[in-house]
Amino acid sequence: MIRFHETGGPEVLRREDLPVRPPGPGEVQIRVQAIGLNRADVTFRRGTYPIAPVLPAGLGVEASGVVLSTGPDVTRWVAGDAVCVLPASSPNEHPLYAEEAVVPASALVARPEGQDAVTAAATWMPYLTVFGMVGEAVRVRPGDRVLVTAAANSIGMAALQVLRHLGAVVVATGAAAQHAALRDLGAAAVLERPDPDAVRAGFGGHDADLVLDAVGGPGVHELAGICRPGGTLIVHGGLSGEPTPLPGGVRPVWVRRYHVYEVTRSPEVLRRAEHFVRAGLAAGTLVPLVDRTFDFHDLDQVRAAHDYLESADRGPGKPVLVVSST
């Protein structure tokens, strides 16, 4: 198991041999095969995530694996089931950086037919988050103009696929090396930063109906000014590392934060989201993107993976820690 006894950089990560407790009521024990990596892992390790780590703390909020055993009241899952763990609980309670882990049964979905473990670990968090934003928080319609910032991360890439499927017109931001990939996923225009004039040019001279912002911080002032009156700015990340203020000005714009828990902790929303994702996977309109893989059993690679999560040279998609191929 990978844990840390103090907050800080990747060097605080340690490998420790710890017994795995048996699953309690409403819980399932799984053999972990692959772990989806998120910036939340980094901020949790640094102690800057909204949920403070209880030291010594584990890590990880999403994974794929195989059921080993179930708690006394769990009836849906049986040993041998291939599953995906959704981000629905704190790593203080159910850490996943391990060869075996105990997770809530309510945080599991069956692994999509034919998916390998690595791809499965990169699937659910991005698409569930995007569905929650564009299918529940707001309803994106064909022709809606949507700005997606930092679009090369896993949520941004998922957003481009979902928005293309919904018929939206998308302007994306990302590093120059990522522009071709973002265009391939359906962005009508790609910019290095959300310059208001350039964004409007990408929308044919119009303001955005919706902004999906992964950056946060003071830049929300500018983003709110790009929205049409009555438009929506959703902040779903904090890549800036700075406090996100309420935008000023007089333009009436809806501003809200969004977290995937709004999907994974609501059985009814999760039911709709799961149907949406499975339909997109089956139709080929949603294609999970794995950026790079790292070896869980090499502590240097685990630390390198955390460095990579903060790197400006990241490729498109989600990095994954590989634990086991079987």
Cis? peptide before 56, omega within 30° of 0: yes
Q: Are 159 and 151 in contact (CB under 8 A)?
A: yes
Q: Which domains does the chain have, with CATH numbers?
A: 2-123+290-322 (3.90.180.10), 125-262 (3.40.50.720)
Taking the chain, what is the end-to-end CA distance rounded to the nearest angstrom?
18
pTM for this model (two decimals) = 0.95
Give the tokens for residue 153: 């991360």
User: Residue 159: helix, strand or coil by DSSP?
Assistant: helix
Q: What's the rounded Cα separation, in Å, for the pair 207 and 134?
A: 18
The span from the CA of 9 to the CA of 307, in Å, is: 9
Q: Return per-residue pLDDT of the chain as tens, 326 residues.
A: 999 999 999 999 999 999 999 999 999 999 999 999 999 999 999 999 989 999 999 999 999 999 999 999 999 999 999 999 999 999 999 999 999 999 999 999 999 999 999 999 999 999 999 999 999 999 999 999 999 999 999 999 999 999 999 999 999 999 999 999 999 999 999 999 999 999 999 999 999 999 999 999 999 999 999 999 999 999 999 888 888 888 877 689 999 999 999 999 999 999 999 999 999 999 999 999 999 999 999 999 999 999 999 887 787 889 999 999 76
Cα–Cα distance measured from residue 148 to residue 190, given in angstroms and rounded to the nearest whole number: 10
